[in-house]
Amino acid sequence: DVKVTQSSRYLVKRTGEKVFLECVQDMDHENMFWYRQDPGLGLRLIYFSYDVKMKEKGDIPEGYSVSREKKERFSLILESASTNQTSMYLCASSPPQLRRPFPYEQYFGPGTRLTVT
Amino acid sequence: ELKVEQNPLFLSMQEGKNYTIYCNYSTTSDRLYWYRQDPGKSLESLFVLLSNGAVKQEGRLMASLDTKARLSTLHITAAVHDLSATYFCAVDTANFNKFYFGSGTKLNVKP
């Protein structure tokens, strides 16, 4: 079974703090994703990575950065946390299209509920 | 920009009834996914639909895909309380498996 883990389930930070959210997957997947989930807005893609040290902006990258130094680990960084970044953050992984076994879905971690006060 | 629209956004139904959730999307894609999310939990994969006309069934849930109409449906048969959750559809693009999610349908099945 694919396992995607996230470093914290709940996190409370103050405005202006630097925040690190970590995600680890154990299936040797090339693709990794960070989403935020807000009521009524579904999941919105922040950043994704298709290989070590590679990253691509998603739909809402402002205020975030990412790091992928090892294949299994993808970190989301809030350089200076703000209250509008209070949200549920979900990490996901998937194998690349050409190598993918059937089926093709993304596998999600348990999520980190971040509160910025 | 690719748009994925689900309706309804909220659905309250009695046990034993049938209902359908709709997922419309704005671009050509032949890969669509349905996920379930329980309160406070992460997303769990329900169905993977990979071609026009694909139909998958699991218990009281059945999903179908019409790529020409850009429409997927999730049909609930004889609902039970355990199906209460939020259901998301997602469309796969050819761009590194980048998904676009609908807003979700929050289903409440009343005993």
Chain B interface includes A41 (CB < 8 A): yes
| Cross-chain Cβ contact B43/A42 below 8 Å | no
User: Of B42, B88, B90, which has the smallest distance from its Cβ to A109's Cβ?
Assistant: B42
What is the C-alpha to C-alpha distance for residues A57 and A44, in angstroms, rounded to an integer?
A: 12
pLDDT, residue A102, reads 53
Query: What single DSSP character describes residue A27?
Result: S
- DSSP letters along chain B, please? ---EEEE-SEEEEETT--EEEEEEESS--S-EEEEEE-TTS-EEEEEEE-STT-EEEETTEEEEEETTTTEEEEEE-S--GGG-EEEEEEEE-TTTT-EEE---EEEEEE-
| Cross-chain Cβ contact B97/A41 below 8 Å | no
pLDDT, residue B2, reads 82
How far does the CA of residue B106 sit from the closest CA of chain A (Å)?
10
Tens-digit pLDDT string for chain B (111 aa): 788 999 999 999 999 999 999 999 998 777 899 999 998 888 999 999 988 889 999 999 999 999 999 999 999 999 999 999 999 999 987 666 788 899 999 999 998
Round the average pLDDT of chain B to a whole number and report it: 92
What single letter denotes the amino acid at residue B92?
Answer: D
pLDDT, residue A100, reads 55
Q: Which two tokens stand for residue B62?
A: 């059945």
| Cross-chain Cβ contact A106/B97 below 8 Å | yes
What is the C-alpha to C-alpha distance for residues A42 and A52, in angstroms, rounded to an integer?
A: 28
Give the CA radius of gyration of chain B.
13
Give the CA angle between residues B58, B63, B64 to the nearest 5°: 140
Q: Which two tokens stand for residue B33?
A: 């996914």
How far does the CA of residue A68 sit from the closest CA of chain B (Å)?
16
Q: How much of chain B exceeds pLDDT 70, in percent?
A: 97
Round the average pLDDT of chain A to a whole number and report it: 91
3-state secondary structure of B85: strand
Chain A interface includes B41 (CB < 8 A): yes
For residue A111, give the chain B residue with the closest CA.
B42
Exposure of A107 in the CB half-sphere (CA atoms within 13 A): 22
